[in-house]
Structure 1
Amino acid sequence: MNNTKEYVCLLVQAVLLMACADHTTPSAKMLDELQLKRGQIIACGPPDKEFGTVDFRITASKNVQEDFNTAVALLHSFEYDDAEKAFAKIIDESPGCAMAYWGVAMCNFHPLWEPPTEANLKKGSKAIEIANSIKQRSPKETAFINAIALYYKDWSATDPHSRAVRFEDAMQQLHQAYPDDREAAIFYALSLDASSAPTDKSYTHQIKAGKILDSLYAVAPNHPGIVHYIIHTYDYPGIAHLALNAARRYADVAPSSAHALHMPSHIFTRLGLWDESIRMNTRSVEAAQCYAQAAGLKGHWDEELHGIDYLVYAYLQKGDNSAAEKQLQYLSTIKEVSPSNFKGVYTFAAVPCRVALENKDWKAAAQLALQPANAPWENYPWQEAIVHFGKLLGLVHTGNVHAAETELTTLEALHAGLVKQNDTYKARQVEIQMNAGKAWIAFTNKEHTQALSLMEAAASQEDSVSKSPVTPGEVLPARELYADMLFETHQYDAAFGQYILVLKKSPNRFNSLFRAGRSAELLADHANATKYYKQLLAIADPHSTRSELKTADMFLKKR
């Protein structure tokens, strides 16, 4: 009997190890071609490296299973470099583990960020090729591998959105085949978010993903993917409140992830909870600085700059110019970012522009320039356009229409380049800036009817698409600019209505709160003037020197 039991145990162990056994190892040449990221996993948080609780069962030894769960936890928090290091460790120790290569392919996918680079796509494709060369894998593991393979298939000839739709279709089938598998459900929800159309204002995919994730959150609140994707799923006007509990929990679930410290601020920004956004982004920036030092990065980590952008946005909405200026001055000292990508360049473009435009400091806006000069601006026309748009508004408001028209010409060239690249979303964003620029040029030329028509069209166009997750918000909302134009023409009733629409989409915006109150005051609508002035003073920093706060305070003291 004992011999039989021992035999059965050995047989079970052999089966469990089969999918990650060394006798199915790929060639050394294939592994070298992957050029995997390797090294220690870096965490700037609790000493025990808390990334959340994941239990993604694969056919593997106990040690491999533990490493795999850590790798997937990192993947769920978009810690892609460290996740790849964790999958690389598995490959180095058990090169026959097919799911480790699935993990590498997922690390190079970036479903809710910018599309993968050519280098990412080549690495992911090679990882899938190796995974498919390993025959010892379960049917479910094969389904996971085949799903991500569809994203990489024909990548050079197929646009990213179409490939994301293919991935979503495959993940739906996988989820239906294994309805009780938690990871299948989570990755299916992620695929729904990744394949959603930015023009779908009914949020069809997000609502479907939300139902899946909300049900899982009730039973697994410490899973990083569940709580993270809930935030992304509801990161839209009108539904952001559905993610507030998850936003307030994510940092406790994965406190060792800089991204987990930042991500809650997406929801706090949507809801106008500026103090909470500042707290989380301060922690995120500090963790990112720690990470750069520990990793020996050349320059600053891109996650630090991402946090700075959200931090500055929150400070500005509180009227805390002093804190915003400090961040701007600090940003000006940063000359190198690692990795060099869309997030860092976006921050370099957006932060100086925000500080000038939110304060209506048109002189500063007119002097905006591409800084740092050594950033790869030529690779990021959308980000470059932000600077030219801010400068255009500054030039218009300081009376230099001719120079503003030159900036408009630059915007048109950048837009044409994006159209040629078939980058529809970014091309549309620049087109909105072009129309807003044309509107303000026309306004300055006393062509008010045409100006208002152009500005209203730009506002409607901006409302028809969702913002990119890389930004806390437009550097200046088109509808707020339209409201400002109405205000300037003394159409206070119409302006008031537009400011309310801005606040519905972006609660607690400093300028819209003030102008809503001011418009109501000029209309002798004391109830609404009182309402919005009180809201403004409630969210403002008590030490703010913004003149708008004095106006609001003086009105309220008279009541």
Structure 2
Amino acid sequence: MKYRFKRTVCLVVCCLVASVPLIADEPHPDTTKGAQLFEGLGDYHREFTTTSDEAQRYLDQGMVWLQAFNYDEAERSFREAARLDPECAMAWWGVAYAAAPSYNHAQLDERRAGIFFEALQNAQARIENASPVERALIEALGKRGEMPYPMEDDSHLDQAYADAMAEVWERFPEDADVGVLYAEALMVRTPWALYNIDREPAEDTPMIEALLERVLELNPNQAGAAHLYIHAVELSKSPERGLVVADRLSTLVPLSGHLLHMPSHIYTRTGDWDRAIEQNALAMEADVKYRAKSPDQFVQHMYMVHNNHIRAYGAMMVGREAEALEASRRMWSQIPEDLLEDVAPQVDAWMCSVYDVYKRFGRWDKMLAEPAPPEYMPFTLATWHAHRAISYAAKKDIEGAQREFRAYRRVRDDTLPRNLPEDYSLKAAKGRLRVIDHFVPGEIALQKGKYKKAIRHLEKAKIAEDKLGYSGEPPDYLQPIRHTLGAVYLLAGRLEEAEEAYREDLAEFPENGWSLYGLSRVLHAQGRTAEAAQVEEEFRLAWADADGPIETSCECIPAL
């Protein structure tokens, strides 16, 4: 007897950043042993039906790890609770839930499917020992599987589970944990699709957000509700709705790097770059402490790398070059060398941030000295060639730039389709490569003094960037195209278009120093002195902790 599980692909977060889909042949840790009690997980507590005080502690801990999306550690905790109290139904419910489809793990391998079914059977066999709400949760989770296995379309299983959880919530409307589980059931049906590319909500999104707001009224310190609420509202036109929740979550679970990191999804969207950097620095410290106690990881490596990615992105936006480079370097160092090739399909689309930092701050010689990445990371290799082309162009070596752009296109056309799976990785990579396809020729034309041609290419790059949409922080393309386009418009004397480019960018990335600087130069050029002075003051605040001054919004044009 087997169950069918969701195999649809999770939409990626920043080319996999917050989302870490699993693949069938991935390395995986041993979750059947190594359970331990951790300090620094906050004060979460729920009364479970158990005869063991120590099992109760592991059950509480397992719930926190579920809320933090650390499913391997959650499974270890629930298994230990089952060992301590063999008749505890909810211990096995927890093992099953940790293996089930989730917001960031919608694609499951057969190993986890087997874990789910076995654990669910164990929970059902002990259901007579459970309280009414526990019985309801176990029965609802049973809707997640169905015979025969496999089947072509299993989306009805997600809906069946969500419908079952709606009934549980209706019966227990004062139980915050039930509310969180119901909200996640609704979100898992369409992961990372709560809003469309124009940030208009999907049909059920207002209901999901209202549900999470109700849960947070019941328990303001429910970390899982805060986590999911941030994932919802960050995609919207009004991410500031998540600020109170983000502030609260920023200290709730000190050992969970991912939960410490999550507020930065709101801080970056609202222009609080310094706070975003700080939260990810704290998350990185927590990751070090956690890995010292629990080194057997796979998926959590991806989350840890993600913390560095957003830290680098935030630091780039406010001129903190050294910190951006250090965080980008740590993205590589945090993945053990013997694991890198195994995880390459998951990380390839965003390990190029070192190149982004060099481009951002105009370190052309350093970029050209950067060694080539391994061939089993074709997207990183393609972007390496692209950034070399940009660097050569900035140094007025047009022949070198064109040579590297040809090399980029060879990797794009030949290597990428062979080495990336035909799923989220290739889709994400192709979207970003469409930006590069136009951005690099625009840079080459710019350095040749052909401004009209440069603008045509950069406008196409901007359109391609806009089509990437938003699926979480950081954005798919770390240096906004409008930083370059605005500068070229200004250089070409097209002041109204330059102003529009910078203002559009600030609407998307509030308080970023590069567009504030560019806008101030445009306003001066237009003779709008008072407005320029106001924007200059905003720039000074944004740039207060920068490593040095700037004279441009894109280092490809040294001064505006």
Tell me, yes or no, whether TM beats 0.5.
Answer: yes
Question: Is 1:320 paired with 2:315?
Answer: no
Partner of 2:34: 39
TM-score, L = length of structure 1: 0.77
Looking at structure 2, the residues matched to 404 and 175 of structure 1 have their Cα atoms a distance apart, in angstroms, of: 56
Shift of 1:409: 3.5
Say which one has the larger Rg: 1
Contact (CA 8 Å) 2:309, 2:331: kept in 1 or not?
no
Contact (CA 8 Å) 2:483, 2:515: kept in 1 or not?
yes
Contact (CA 8 Å) 1:388, 1:407: kept in 2 or not?
yes
Partner of 2:310: 310
Partner of 1:68: 59
Contact (CA 8 Å) 1:285, 1:304: kept in 2 or not?
yes
State the SS of the aligned residue for 2:544. Answer: coil
Closer, same or farther: CA 358–435 of 1 in aligned 2, 3 Å: closer
- Deviation string 1:265-322 (CA, Å, 9 cap, x unpaired) is 2211212212222322222111211222233559995544332222222222221223
Contact (CA 8 Å) 1:439, 1:452: kept in 2 or not?
no
Closer, same or farther: CA 183–387 of 1 in aligned 2, 3 Å: farther
Shift of 1:71: 1.1
Contact (CA 8 Å) 1:298, 1:336: kept in 2 or not?
no
Q: Using the TM superposition, name which of 456-465 and 295-304 deviates more.
A: 295-304
AA matched with 2:406:
E
Q: Using the TM superposition, name which of 498-507 and 329-338 deviates more.
A: 329-338
Question: Is 1:402 paired with 2:403?
Answer: yes
Partner of 1:247: 246
AA matched with 1:272:
G
Contact (CA 8 Å) 1:272, 1:507: kept in 2 or not?
yes
Matches within 5 A, 1:481-520: 481-520=484-523
AA matched with 1:51:
G
Partner of 2:541: 538
Closer, same or farther: CA 167–521 of 1 in aligned 2, 3 Å: farther
Q: Using the TM superposition, name which of 409-418 and 191-200 deviates more.
A: 409-418
AA matched with 1:496:
E
Partner of 1:3: none
Contact (CA 8 Å) 2:455, 2:489: kept in 1 or not?
yes
**What is the aligned residue count?**
506
Looking at structure 1, the residues matched to 165 and 383 of structure 2 have their Cα atoms a distance apart, in angstroms, of: 36
Question: Is 1:190 paired with 2:184?
Answer: yes
Closer, same or farther: CA 510–384 of 1 in aligned 2, 3 Å: farther
State the SS of the aligned residue for 1:252. Answer: coil
Matches within 5 A, 1:107-506: 107-109=98-100, 111-113=102-104, 115-116=106-107, 118=109, 121-127=112-118, 130-131=121-122, 134=125, 136=127, 139-149=135-145, 157-158=152-153, 168=162, 170-172=164-166, 174-176=168-170, 178-194=172-188, 195=190, 196-197=192-193, 199=196, 201-204=199-202, 205-236=204-235, 238-296=237-295, 301-328=301-328, 336=336, 341=343, 345=347, 349-366=351-368, 368-369=370-371, 371=373, 373=374, 378=376, 386-398=383-395, 399=398, 400-413=401-414, 416=417, 421-423=422-424, 427-428=427-428, 430-441=430-441, 444-445=444-445, 452-453=455-456, 455-469=458-472, 471=474, 474-506=477-509
Contact (CA 8 Å) 2:101, 2:107: kept in 1 or not?
yes
Shift of 1:429: 5.0
- Deviation string 1:465-503 (CA, Å, 9 cap, x unpaired) is 544446366322244444344345432321221121111
Q: Using the TM superposition, name which of 442-451 and 243-252 deviates more.
A: 442-451
Looking at structure 2, the residues matched to 364 and 271 of structure 1 have their Cα atoms a distance apart, in angstroms, of: 32
Looking at structure 1, the residues matched to 103 and 295 of structure 2 have their Cα atoms a distance apart, in angstroms, of: 27
Bigger relative contact order (CA 8 A; separation at least 6): 2
AA matched with 2:179:
A
AA matched with 1:38:
K
Contact (CA 8 Å) 2:63, 2:74: kept in 1 or not?
yes
Looking at structure 2, the residues matched to 418 and 239 of structure 1 have their Cα atoms a distance apart, in angstroms, of: 39
AA matched with 1:41:
Q
Gap runs ≥5 in structure 1 = 1-33, 552-559
Contact (CA 8 Å) 1:365, 1:393: kept in 2 or not?
no
Closer, same or farther: CA 474–432 of 1 in aligned 2, 3 Å: closer
Looking at structure 2, the residues matched to 412 and 260 of structure 1 have their Cα atoms a distance apart, in angstroms, of: 39
State the SS of the aligned residue for 1:145. Answer: helix
Q: Using the TM superposition, name which of 248-257 and 110-119 deviates more.
A: 110-119
Q: Using the TM superposition, name which of 462-471 and 236-245 deviates more.
A: 462-471
Shift of 1:120: 5.6
- Deviation string 1:366-417 (CA, Å, 9 cap, x unpaired) is 555554x4xxx74x66666554554454455452123213213323446646
Closer, same or farther: CA 192–324 of 1 in aligned 2, 3 Å: same
Shift of 1:538: 0.3
Looking at structure 2, the residues matched to 111 and 386 of structure 1 have their Cα atoms a distance apart, in angstroms, of: 31
- Between the two proteins, what is the percent identity of the paired residues? 18
Structure 1 vs Structure 2 CA RMSD: 4.0
AA matched with 2:315:
Y
Looking at structure 1, the residues matched to 490 and 305 of structure 2 have their Cα atoms a distance apart, in angstroms, of: 35
Looking at structure 2, the residues matched to 65 and 78 of structure 1 have their Cα atoms a distance apart, in angstroms, of: 20
Looking at structure 1, the residues matched to 289 and 86 of structure 2 have their Cα atoms a distance apart, in angstroms, of: 32
Shift of 1:171: 3.8
AA matched with 1:526:
T
Closer, same or farther: CA 303–416 of 1 in aligned 2, 3 Å: closer
Looking at structure 1, the residues matched to 552 and 393 of structure 2 have their Cα atoms a distance apart, in angstroms, of: 26
State the SS of the aligned residue for 2:93. Answer: helix
| Structure ranking higher in helix proportion | 1
Q: Using the TM superposition, name which of 167-176 and 316-325 deviates more.
A: 167-176
